[in-house]
Homo-oligomer: A and B are copies of this chain.
Amino acid sequence: MQRCQEEYKKEQGEKGEQEERGESHYVFQKEKFFDGIRTQHGYVRVLPNFSELSRLLSGISIYRLAVLNLNPQAFFQPHHLDADLVLYIAQGKGTFGIVNSETRHSHDVRQGDILRIRSGSIYYLANKDNNEKLTIVQLAVPTSRPGQFREFLAVGKNSYLSQFSKDVQEAAFNLRPEEVQKLFEPQQQQQQQGAIIKASEQQIRSIGGSSSHHGGESQRPFNLLKKRPTESNRHGKLIRADGNDFQPLRDLDLAVSVVNITQRSMFGPRYSTQSYEIAVVTQGDGTVEIICPHLASQKRESEQEQGREGEQEEGEQQQYERVRSRVTEGTAIVFPPGHPAVEIASSDKNLQVVRFEIRAEGNQQVFLAGPNSPWRRMEDGAKELAFGMKAREVDQRLDRQKETAFVPGPEERERERPLYSVLNFFDF
């Protein structure tokens, strides 16, 4: 595992150099994540606070993104967070146990499931499969410090309970100190491994067995992949769940969506009207472009500070900056609201992106090309004023794109160039 990671990093480093320009604000390669927890049986990788990553991202500084990975038959020890958590099962199967004073909720989860763990809920997690890894993408909404959260591990060498004074521990459990320690800081080899350990066949089987669902505090997971896609054609597919599908998403004003882009196809150009999308590539690789006016003005300002103000004439100022970056499995991408963007799948793999939409209620996708592009709805006079040509000519050009949302990407067009050229020749 560790070795794979390192090889991966090396490879990324090489790619990275070609692509770095401007990407650092909205695209964060896998290496930007740090180890929250890591044992030989799994890990939690956490992206730094967004406002530390870029001052353009202060609008989402209260959120955190993390990826959890459990090896087959691994067990994540009981713990709680000072954060609300929305989880998306990106790969594999698992079983959650959530316990409180009265009841236990057990949830079997599989790819596509969305689950919420409330701040302060004590939970544990097992990958019961013998072969497949369990990968979970997590959005955290911290409750104690804005944009900062921690694991509170109840047992093991770093049990929080063992941090109370000895006499307090003794009084709390009505046990002799050595008994408390034996209970919460067990010396067995397994527990010494840390927060993620290996379970025996028998132990792992017992987990989730006798589930109890009275109390109803923890809601069963919702499977996103069962929903009908919002957009779908042979170039790709968009599926989205919001508060209407799953109550916890309403409580947190979030939506979760998956975008699946066929190889050599493109999603967009498009933007979200009001939501930030905090995204992670879960399969494949490709390229993203995001157009940003804030970056451009930031650049202008810093140039002015450095006295290079005179180099550009007023009228020729760049109003927008293009962020272009390669993305690959594990890359995080942030799409700010209103910012036009495209995602393009590579030549040999579909590109799959999981997205948490922030402030989701009322949010809409605007697709800037294709038969439903907003330009088509303008009055003739407005079309003429905007595009400086007859409305009929505008329509003729806009009509050329027949697909919505997902279209053949640049590379696909390249392959089919002769065909497109002929079409162009006939049309104009």
Contact (A146, B59) CB under 8 Å given A165-B324, A199-B385, A366-B120 = yes
Contact B190 A385 (CB under 8 A): yes
Residue in B191, B205, B266, B414 whose beta carbon sits within 8 Å of that of A172 in the complex: B266
Contact B101 A155 (CB under 8 A): no
Contact A375 B154 (CB under 8 A): yes
Contact (A151, B100) CB under 8 Å given A382-B206, A407-B174 = no
**Contact flags A90-114 to B (C-beta < 8 A → 1, else 0):** 0000000101111110100000000
Contact A172 B368 (CB under 8 A): yes
Of the stretches A8-16, A80-88, A219-227, A302-310, the one at the interface is A80-88
Kindly state the separation between the CA atoms of A337 and B150 in the bound complex, as whole angstroms: 11
Taking the closest CB of chain B, its distance from the CB of A419, in whole angstroms, is: 11
Let me know if A77 is at the binding interface, CB within 8 A: yes
- Interface residues in A248-299 by Cβ distance below 8 A to B read 266, 268-269, 271-274, 276, 289, 291, 293-294, 297
CB neighbours of A340 from chain B (8 A): 152, 160-161, 164
Kindly state the separation between the CA atoms of A344 and B321 in the bound complex, as whole angstroms: 47
Contact A291 B172 (CB under 8 A): no
Let me know if A238 is at the binding interface, CB within 8 A: no
Contact A144 B336 (CB under 8 A): yes
Contact B145 A294 (CB under 8 A): yes
- Interface residues in A99-136 by Cβ distance below 8 A to B read 99-104, 106, 118-122, 124, 126
- Chain B residue nearest in CB terms to A374: B99
Contact (A78, B386) CB under 8 Å given A174-B402, A206-B379, A340-B160 = yes
Let me know if A232 is at the binding interface, CB within 8 A: no
Of the stretches A63-71, A175-183, A239-247, A346-354, the one at the interface is A175-183
Contact (A173, B375) CB under 8 Å given A206-B380, A274-B143, A293-B152 = no
CB neighbours of A49 from chain B (8 A): none
Let me know if A53 is at the binding interface, CB within 8 A: no
Taking the closest CB of chain B, its distance from the CB of A317, in whole angstroms, is: 9
CB neighbours of A420 from chain B (8 A): 174
Contact B379 A97 (CB under 8 A): yes
Let me know if A170 is at the binding interface, CB within 8 A: yes
Greatest chain B CB density within 10 A among A84, A99, A160, A191 is at A160
Contact B172 A268 (CB under 8 A): yes
Taking the closest CB of chain B, its distance from the CB of A163, in whole angstroms, is: 4
Contact B82 A338 (CB under 8 A): yes
Taking the closest CB of chain B, its distance from the CB of A75, in whole angstroms, is: 5
Contact (A289, B337) CB under 8 Å given A207-B379, A364-B100 = no
Contact B161 A119 (CB under 8 A): no
Contact B171 A413 (CB under 8 A): yes
Residue in B175, B319, B410 whose beta carbon sits within 8 Å of that of A168 in the complex: B410
Contact A148 B374 (CB under 8 A): no
Contact B58 A186 (CB under 8 A): no
Q: Which A residues form the contact surface with B (CB < 8 A)? A: 56, 58-59, 75, 77-78, 80-82, 84, 97, 99-104, 106, 118-122, 124, 126, 142-146, 148, 150-155, 158, 160-161, 163-165, 167-168, 170-176, 179, 182-184, 186-188, 190-191, 197, 199, 202-210, 266, 268-269, 271-274, 276, 289, 291, 293-294, 297, 319-322, 324, 336-340, 342, 344, 359, 362, 364, 366-369, 372-375, 377-382, 384-389, 394, 397-398, 400-402, 404, 407-410, 412-414, 420, 424, 428
What are 28 A-to-B residue pairs whose CB atoms are below 8 Å?
Answer: A59-B145, A81-B338, A100-B364, A101-B374, A104-B378, A106-B379, A119-B337, A120-B364, A121-B273, A126-B382, A154-B375, A160-B291, A160-B293, A160-B319, A160-B320, A161-B269, A163-B320, A165-B410, A167-B413, A172-B269, A172-B401, A174-B401, A175-B400, A183-B398, A186-B388, A199-B385, A207-B379, A209-B379
